[in-house]
Each structure stands twice: as C-alpha cells, then as structure tokens.
C-alpha cells in the first residue's frame, strides 16, 4: 500500500529515501525515468510505476536477467511498490566488436532458460507488463498453443475492442494461430527472454558493452527476442546475429519465421498506438499464412 506522501513525492525524494543518500541535483523531466545525482556525484535513474505490480515486475525481470551472468543490466539500487532506482549507464556509439559480444551474450541469456513458457521471473507477478500494456505470464508447455493463447489472441481482442483492428480482420490472426504448430519450426526449450527487445531498450555503453533496460522478462521462444530486434532497427544487427549464431546456431528456416514472432510486439503496439501497427500486424499475419 502506497501512503499519501510517497504517492506525491518527486524523483529526488524517492531516490534519497530508497538509497539512503542525500540528493544534490536532478535533471528536469516531465515524465519517467528521471536522472538524479546523489551525494558524492553518482548519477542514477529514477523510474515511477503507477500501475500496480509494474515496479515489482521490472525489478524481478532485471534481477532474473542479471542472474544469468550474460547480458549486463543496470543494477537495482533500491525500490518499493511505486519507485525504482537503478544505476545510470553512460552511453557511447555502437561498434562492431561490441555488437558481436552482445549477440554472443544474448545467446547465453536465452540458453539460461526458464521453467516453462510463460514463466515469470522469480518474485515477479503473473500479471506483468510490456511497456504500458498488460502482459499475463501464464504457464505453458507447448509453444505454439501458448503463443496463440497468451501472446497473440489477447492483443487481437484488445485491438478490436479499441477499434484499431476491424472485427472482420481478426480471423486472419486466428488462422495463423491454428497453423502455428506447422509454422513454428523445430521445438525449442523455453528461453529466458528480455521480452521487449526493441532498440530503445538496448544501451550501447561508453565502455563498449551493451546493457539491456525495461524488460518484460518471461520464458518464451528465443526467436521472439531476435524478431523484435529486427522489427525496430537495431544498429549493427548483422554483427549481433553473427555473434548469436556463433554461440548458438539458429534452427533452419528462422528467417522465414520472423513475421510469426513479430506478431506479438506489433499487436501490442496496435493496442497502444493505433492503426498503423495494426496494418503491419495484418501484413505479418498474411505473410505467415503464405509460408
């Protein structure tokens, strides 16, 4: 339960309360996250989560990814039900060597695995989020069925409810879901996914190492993370994929399956941001049906 004072405090006061250190400065921000300077000069990022469970889900996701000892993530320095404080990552330019290492580390992260498809991180809520959209982590043992029930059809219904998709367009996605067992490729074990791996959540550190932020972490299919990297334009993606393939070769036909895995993020964006993403999702679904 968040008390009244905590509900109305600003990022600086939250950072001081959660880290136990005085705050000496804050960069003005209209939203979240905000950059705050602690006594001694350390700069941290302070993020507020207004939806119940949002901070818990993100903190649990960051710690689950960090526990794999593969791709680096910012350390969580303090949190409560509403606020999260993490270390700030000084950023630099993408470089080919760093991209190759990122691909190798991402493969190792996926290989760290999950108990089942839809597994939430330890201490993470079943009802989590991807960006601002709800995301339910319900368990499954069969990826095609789980992906249809928990990563495609809920967002089709949400997009129809919001008027982003027309009711007559929903059967296109339903037909893809029926065919998923034949479209999914060889069976894969549950992978430990970042879950929201678009370029904005990939920080190219000034030290040449990548950090990942804002996870929607869960157990899923490794090709979903890679499909999202491709969807929103990751710098040096060819080098990232080369590193990944060097560490853990992809199953044959994975390039043809990219559209299948992009259905999830495209439908989430259709729910949140409108018709343009719905049209992209329809194109991906029709492309899958043509396979």
Region 55-80: mean pLDDT is 97
Domains and CATH numbers, the chain: 4-87 (3.30.200.20), 96-289 (3.90.1200.10)
Q: Is the pLDDT of residue 64 over 70?
A: yes
Under the banding of pLDDT at 50, 70 and 90, the label for residue 31 is low
Q: In a 3-state reduction of DSSP, which class is residue 23?
A: strand
Tell me what the pLDDT averaged over the chain comes to: 94
Under the banding of pLDDT at 50, 70 and 90, the label for residue 65 is very high
Is the pTM here over 0.85, yes or no?
Answer: yes
- Among 31-45, 76-90, 208-222, whose mean pLDDT is lowest? 31-45
Cα 242 to the chain's mean position, in Å? 21
Q: What local confidence, expressed as pLDDT, does residue 27 receive?
A: 77
Q: How far is 147 from 135, CA to CA, in rounded Å?
A: 12
Q: Is the pLDDT of residue 9 over 80?
A: no
Q: What local confidence, expressed as pLDDT, does residue 28 receive?
A: 60
Query: Which one-letter DSSP state was computed for residue 152?
Result: I
Nearest residue to 83 via CA among 139, 173, 15: 15
Under the banding of pLDDT at 50, 70 and 90, the label for residue 188 is very high
Q: How far is 107 from 247, CA to CA, in rounded Å?
A: 6
């Amino acid at each position: 339960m968040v008390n009244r004072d905590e509900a109305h405090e600003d990022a600086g006061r939250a950072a001081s309360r959660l880290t136990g250190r005085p705050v000496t400065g804050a960069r003005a921000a209209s939203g979240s996250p905000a950059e705050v300077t602690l006594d001694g000069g350390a700069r941290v990022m302070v993020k507020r989560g207004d939806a119940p469970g949002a901070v818990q889900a993100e903190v649990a996701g960051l710690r689950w990814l960090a526990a794999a000892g593969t791709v680096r993530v910012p350390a969580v320095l303090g949190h409560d039900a509403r606020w999260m404080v993490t270390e700030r990552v000084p950023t630099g330019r993408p470089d080919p060597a760093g991209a190759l290492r990122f691909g190798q580390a991402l493969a190792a992260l996926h290989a760290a695995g999950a108990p089942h498809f839809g597994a939430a991180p330890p201490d993470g809520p079943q009802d989590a989020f991807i960006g601002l959209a709800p995301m339910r982590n319900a368990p499954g043992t069969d990826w095609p069925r789980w992906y249809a029930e928990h990563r495609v059809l809920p967002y089709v219904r949400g997009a129809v409810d919001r008027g982003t998709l027309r009711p007559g367009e929903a059967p296109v996605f339903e037909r893809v879901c029926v065919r998923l067992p034949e479209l999914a490729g060889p069976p894969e074990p549950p992978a430990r996914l970042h879950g929201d791996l678009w370029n904005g959540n990939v920080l190219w550190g000034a030290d040449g190492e990548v950090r990942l932020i804002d996870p929607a972490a869960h157990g899923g299919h490794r090709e979903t993370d890679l499909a999202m990297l491709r969807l929103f334009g990751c710098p040096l993606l060819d080098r990232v994929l080369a590193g990944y393939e060097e560490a853990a070769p992809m199953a044959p036909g994975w390039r043809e399956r990219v559209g299948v895995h992009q259905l999830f993020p495209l439908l989430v964006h259709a729910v949140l941001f409108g018709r343009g993403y719905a049209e992209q999702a329809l194109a991906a679904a029709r492309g899958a049906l043509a396979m």
